[in-house]
Each structure stands twice: as C-alpha cells, then as structure tokens.
Amino acid sequence: MGCLCNIYTNLFDDTIFRMPFELSVIGGGLAGCEAAWQAANRGISVLLYEMRPQTMTEVHKTDLLGELVCSNSLGSVKPTSGSGLLFNEMKVFDSLICKVAEDSTVPAGTALAVDRKLFSQRITELLSAHPQIKIIRAEITSIPTTPSIIATGPLTSPAMTQALQDFHGEKNLFFYDAIAPLLEADSIDMETAFWGSRYGNAGSGKGDYLNCPMDKETYDAFVEQLIHAQQIPLRPFEQGISEGVDAGHGNFFEGCLPVEVLARRGVATLAYGPMRPVGLRKSYPGDPPYAIVQLRQDNLSHTTYNMVGFQTNLTFSEQKRVFRMIPALQNAEFVRYGQMHRNTFLFAPTLINPGLQSLQRPDLFFAGQLIGVEGYLGNAATGMVAGINAVRYLYQQPLLTFPQETIIGGLCFYITHAQKDEFQPMKANFGLLPPLFPMIKSKGDRKAAYGNRSLEMIKEFYNRQR
Ligand SMILES: Cc1cc2nc3c(=O)[nH]c(=O)nc-3n(C[C@H](O)[C@H](O)[C@H](O)COP(=O)(O)OP(=O)(O)OC[C@H]3O[C@@H](n4cnc5c(N)ncnc54)[C@H](O)[C@@H]3O)c2cc1C
C-alpha cells in the first residue's frame, strides 16, 4: 500500500500541506465511510477497502457503501432522545452520515428514516467523488502493516475474523449478541421491587440487585404468554442459535439461551433458573415470592438497569407487552430491547483506548459494531472518532478523547471501560452520561438539560481542537 499523492488541503484553515500520509480504512459500512470522510477532509489520502460486491456478507444486498442492513430508521431525532442528541453532536463535526441522512429522509414522525437506496447511493457518490479518497473493491484478509482503521462490522469476513483472532487472541473475540433488555431506572415501580443480593447484602449494604417479585399466579400467566409470544424470525445463517446450537462456530452458550427457549422447557424452568428466589428471603419484607426477576445496575449514574438472564429474541412489541406483566415493570421504559443475532465483536476494553486506538499498535484504529457499539448512528460516530484520531496520530498531535458528557464520549468511554462479563454492545442512550448536579426531578426537563450540556460541550470541544 504505497503513497498516492502529496498535496492536501486542510479542512479548517485552507493551508496547503505537503504530507506523505496515507491511511487505509477497511470496510465501507457506516463506520468506515464516516472514518474515510473525516480523515480525507483533514488532508489525508484514504484508501477505502470494501469487499462487496465480489464477496458479499449474509445480509448486505448491494455493492453500495453505507448500506443499511435492516431497518431504514436511524432513530429518533428528538433532542431529548439518545439518538437525537448523538445526531446533533455529530453534525457539529460535519458528519457525512448525518448530512446524507438529512438529504434522503422519508416521513416517519419523530424518527429519522431514510430512503435506503438514495442514502447509500449518495454516500457512494460523495466518497467516490472525493479527491482524497480512493475506493478499492477487495476483501482484506490480514491486518495491514501500514496505518489503518478496521471497521469491518458485525459480519466481518471469515479471513479477517481469523486475522483479528490471531492478533488479539481467541478469548477477545465474540460471535454473538445475546442481549437482555435495558430499562430506565425511574420507570421501575420501586414500591413493588426490593433491594437485595442473593445470600446476603455485602457491598453497598442494601444489596446490589433490584428484585422484582412475582406470586405463583402471576408467574404462571407470565410464562404462558412468554412461551407463545412472537419471535423475530432468524435468518438462515443464524438458525440454531435459539435452540442452543450455532450453525457456524460450534455450541452456543447454554447460559445465553433466550428466556423464551428456557420457558418452553417446562413451566417451572425459569423459577428454578434465572428467576429463582433462593437466597433472597431475608431481604423480602413479606411472604417469600414464588419467583423474582433481578435487575442489575448498568451505568455509574444508576439511570439504567438490565434484566439479568433475560436474553431474548422476542419482537420489540412483544417484549414490551410480556415483560410489563412483571408487576414492578408494569410501566417499564426500554432503553434497549433484547436481541440475538450473529455479531462479531472484539472485547474492546482491553484492546483499545477511548481514542479508539489499538493498545498494541498505535497506528491501528478500530471503529463500528466490531468494537461493541449498536445502532447505525453510534457506529458512524465511532468511525468519526477513529477517522479524526488516525489523522491526529499521523500529524503527531495528541489524540482526542471526547468529553464523557457527550453521547459520543459516553459511548467511547463505555466500550473501553466495561467489565468483561457484562460487556454487551451498547447504543446511544442518556444512561451513558454522568449525572447532573443538582438532580432535576422532571424527566423531560432532565433530558433537555442533558442535551443542552452535551451540545455546549461538543461545540466548545470542536472549537478547541481545530
Ligand atoms: C442482521 C443484522 C441486522 C441489523 N439491524 C440493525 C437495525 O435495524 N438498526 C441498526 O441500527 N443496526 C442494525 N444492525 C447493526 C448494524 O450492522 C450496525 O448498526 C451498522 O451497520 C454497523 O456499522 P459498521 O460500519 O460497523 O458495519 P457494516 O455497516 O456492516 O459495514 C462493514 C463493512 O465491511 C465490509 N467488510 C467485512 N469484512 C471485510 C473485509 N475483510 N475486507 C473488506 N471489507 C469487509 C462489509 O461488506 C461491510 O460493508 C444489524 C446488524 C445485523 C447483523
């Protein structure tokens, strides 16, 4: 991968640089396209490698860059939503994905939905016409030895998967998402739920788990609905996941089976499994419950809780309907729904820093779903961070760590600091942000305040790094 050209313009002050720098970006998805755009606009010559159409993934259908593999919605654009705030933050940094999304919207209420073909066509056109970018249609099967960003996504090709495994070690690469729902703390009925840890309340004293009790009648009704609830159909390459056997990589962990699959094994299975009440009798004020659902704190600011052992493949509307049958969760708001799909991702916390730079090789950066981010916009945002920081590395400038008070900074912080046994792909949400002081009681006012703080910060941050 030799050097292509030497004269570049700088985005910010129009100074003409003579720079022999070249950066390879592997993967022309949401993250790779944003990374290439950010790097090229900062005067770097970018080689963008995309394996399609010669080698297709199991879900991509076209040869277009930035193809949306499933939904055509990039999430809510309300500034009081995680995705809306992220969108506004990214626009401050002249995001390609946000710019193109705005040019290809279709009506969808407060959601930013796009005409998927127009969206990807426009990205392909803009990157193809960029004087600093050369698009190369080829599968990369090893980690380049020159400065690079790897953004090959959840369906990274098998050869690159092997290369990543060789580079980082087998234990640092995961193949699936088995995600349990994440709930907003203030939507949980605290009158019904109780604090307690199994077999004693070490740690904080009151117990580390929030337990949602159920009597036998409620439990039986819940299991009945769970068994018959509608599931998201699995694609052929995912067949077997929900039965406990993976089609491609051997056995699927028993501990990650969807809760509805466990329920089908017998009406009492959950009550003796993830919903067992044992060890909690002393914490419960009344008669011991027949079953409990444990919720575990998911962020430092206590604003989100995940449902322990509740990996699921139910449709999102069914998750809402069935899980709200749990008395303490009758008004639960879902920050993220449970999901199961094939997803190759690295254990980022031990492999990269918040600037998305490899801890093993400073000229190597990672972005997108491959580092444990969920959602189109979130993945594009990490492409933005990697693109900017790869350029800064090449110019020998200190890398940028986005402020944690921004969704971009919060995402980068989460993926580089999560605990190994709790690391699951994360999407943009307010739970990533540090709490406000003083705390604002009204939910609407609080989200607006988070949004204002984040936008002020990102603008100041942008001006400082120019
Ligand atoms: C089945 C499925 C459904 C999903 N549905 C949604 C959804 O509805 N909404 C949502 O927000 N997110 C969804 N996601 C997550 C989604 O994939 C990400 O949000 C987003 O596409 C990830 O961006 P990315 O750039 O990391 O990966 P991608 O967009 O997948 O881009 C990676 C690119 O790298 C290319 N590539 C792979 N290996 C190589 C190689 N060795 N050499 C060269 N090129 C290579 C691929 O062809 C691809 O174009 C889904 C994921 C899957 C697997």
Q: How far from 63 is each of 102, 185, 295, CA to CA, in Å? A: 22, 42, 43
Closest CA to 122 of 151, 101, 153: 101
Tokens in use for 368? Answer: 């997108």
Q: pLDDT of 38-71, one tens digit each?
A: 999 999 999 999 999 999 997 888 999 999 987 7
> Looking at residues 147-155, what average pLDDT do you find?
96
Q: Report all structural domains of the chain as residue ranges with CATH numbers, in order of start.
A: 7-177+342-465 (3.50.50.60), 182-337 (2.40.30)
Tell me how far the alpha carbon of residue 13 lies from the centroid of ligand 1, in angstroms: 34
| Strands across the sheet containing 73-76 | 73-76, 111-114, 105-106
pLDDT in tens, 355-368: 999 999 999 999 99
Q: What is the pLDDT of residue 10?
A: 37
Residue 23 has pLDDT above 60, yes or no: yes
Query: What are 78-91's pLDDT values in tens digits?
Result: 888 999 999 999 99
Percent composition of the chain: helix, strand, coil (DSSP 3-state, to 5): 35, 20, 45
C-beta separation of 312 from 338 below 8 A: yes
- Token pair 């603008």 is found at 459
Q: Indicate the top mutation candidate among 161, 376, 385 to test ligand 1's pocket, ranked by most ligand atoms within 8 A of CB.
A: 376
- Of 2-16, 38-52, 299-313, 360-374, give the lowest mean pLDDT range: 2-16
CA–CA distance, 315 with 23 (Å, rounded to integer): 41
Token pair of 179 as six digits:
């995600």
CA angle, 184 then 189 then 194, to 5°: 105
Ligand 1 pocket, Cβ-based, cut-off 6 angstroms = 26-32, 49-52, 57, 59-60, 69-71, 139-140, 151-157, 160, 341, 343, 368-370, 375-376, 379
Best residue for ligand 1 mutational test, from 49, 56, 70, 339 (most atoms within 8 Å of Cβ):
70
Ligand 1, atom 15, lies closest to the CA of: 375
b/e 35-46 (16+ beta carbons within 10 angstroms → b) = bbbbbbbbbbbb
Q: Which of 11-20, 75-84, 198-207, 284-293 is predicted least confidently?
A: 11-20
Give the pTM.
0.76
Report whether pLDDT(240) > 70.
no
